[in-house]
Amino acid sequence: MLNKIAVAYVDAVDVDKAKKVAKKWQLDYIGDIAAIKNYPKLLFALQVNLQRLELSKLDEPKLGAICVDFVDGATAHRRKFGGGRGQDIAKAVGLKHGFTPHVLDATAGLGRDAFVLATLGCNVTMMERMPIVAALLEDGLERAKLSTEINDITDRMNLINSSSIENMNLAQQPDVIYLDPMYPHREKSAAVKKEMRVFQSLVGEDLDADNLLAPAIALAKYRVVVKRPSYAPPLAGKTPSTSINMKKNRFDVYVNQAIPKNN
C-alpha cells in the first residue's frame, strides 16, 4: 500500500515539513499537491496543510482530509464534557478504584481513546503498526505539545511504530493493555463515518486481531480491556472475566489480578 501513497505540500510554508515527513516515513515526495493529477496510480495523499499533516483518499475527495487533532473539535469536547472518571472506559481500565495505571494502547489508531485515558491521568504508550497512521499520530502529538492548554496531557503519551502482535513487550511493564481492533461493519449498519471510511480503506480489517489477546494477557500486570461492537464475538473466542455494555459497543475485561485498593 505504501507505493500508493505520496507526500505533498499545500502551501509553500509547508515544503520543509513535507520533505521531512517523506524522508522519515520513506514515502515518495511529489511537491505541490496540485501535481497529484500527474500520478493517476496514487490512492492517497499525505499532505502538509499549514503545518498539519492530513490524509486524503484521492478517489473520494468529498470525504475531506483526516488528521489527528488533540487540541480542537470532538477531542476537546470530550475532554471538557466527557464525564471524567465516570466514563465507561475509565471503569474498564480500573480508574474507579483510585488507581491510575500505565496503559498500553496496542491498537492506537487515531489516538482518541489513548488521549481520553491520558486526560484522566494515565501514562499511555500507543503502539501503531501502520506507518501512515503512526505519522498522523506523531504529527498530532507534536502539534499538541505546542498547546499550553493540553501539553501536560500529551506529555503522558508516547508512540511506538511497531506491530503489537510481535513487539508488545517494547512497552515498559504496562498495568493495563487496551485493544480496539478493527471489526467488519454490519452490512445494514449506518454509513461509516468519513474518517473510518478513509481509515478502513487504508488499513483494512485486523484479520490477525485474535493473535493480540494471548500476548496481551501474558504481559498486562492487572488486566486486558478489549473494545468490541456489541454484536461481535469475544476476541479469539475467549470469554472475558466481565463486560461493560454500552449502546453500540462493550468493553470485555480479562482480569489477571485484582487492582490494588486505594488506601
- Strands 102-105 and 52-57, how do they pair? unpaired
57 with 78, same domain: the answer is: no
Cα–Cα distance for residue pair 119/215, rounded to 1 Å: 27
What's the confidence (pLDDT) of residue 138?
97
Annotated binding-site residue? 129: yes
In a domain, residue 18? The reply is: yes
Q: How confident is the model at residue 186 (pLDDT cuts 50, 70, 90)?
A: low
pLDDT at 106 over 50: yes
109 with 156, same domain: the answer is: yes
pLDDT at 28 over 90: yes
What's the confidence (pLDDT) of residue 261?
81
26 with 94, same domain: the answer is: no
Q: Taking residues 65-92, report their average pLDDT.
A: 84
Residue pLDDT, tens place only, 144-165: 999 999 999 999 999 999 999 9
Q: Are 33 and 61 in contact (CB under 8 A)?
A: no
Annotated binding-site residue? 112: yes
The domain of 144 spans 73-255
Q: Taking residues 175-199, report their average pLDDT.
A: 74
CA atoms within 13 A on the CB side of 161: 11
Whole-angstrom CA distances from 218 to 127, 169, 224 are: 17, 10, 10
Sheet of 242-245, strands arranged across: 157-160, 123-127, 102-105, 176-179, 223-229, 249-255, 242-245
pTM (2 d.p.) = 0.93
Residue pLDDT, tens place only, 114-139: 999 999 999 999 999 999 999 999 99
Domain stops at, among 63, 94, 114: 63
147 with 238, same domain: the answer is: yes
* Three-point CA angle 65, 68, 69, nearest 5°: 105
In a domain, residue 260? The reply is: no
Task: State the total domains in the chain.
Answer: 2
What lies within 8 Å, CB to CB, of 40 at 6+ separation is: none
- Strands 249-255 and 223-229, how do they pair? antiparallel
What's the confidence (pLDDT) of residue 54?
96
The more confident residue out of 110 and 183 is: 110
Annotated binding-site residue? 128: yes
138 with 19, same domain: the answer is: no
Q: How confident is the model at residue 205 (pLDDT cuts 50, 70, 90)?
A: low
β-strand partners of 6: 28, 45
What's the confidence (pLDDT) of residue 3?
86
H or E stretch covering 197: helix 194-203
In a domain, residue 263? The reply is: no
The more confident residue out of 163 and 204 is: 163
What's the confidence (pLDDT) of residue 189?
47
197 with 89, same domain: the answer is: yes
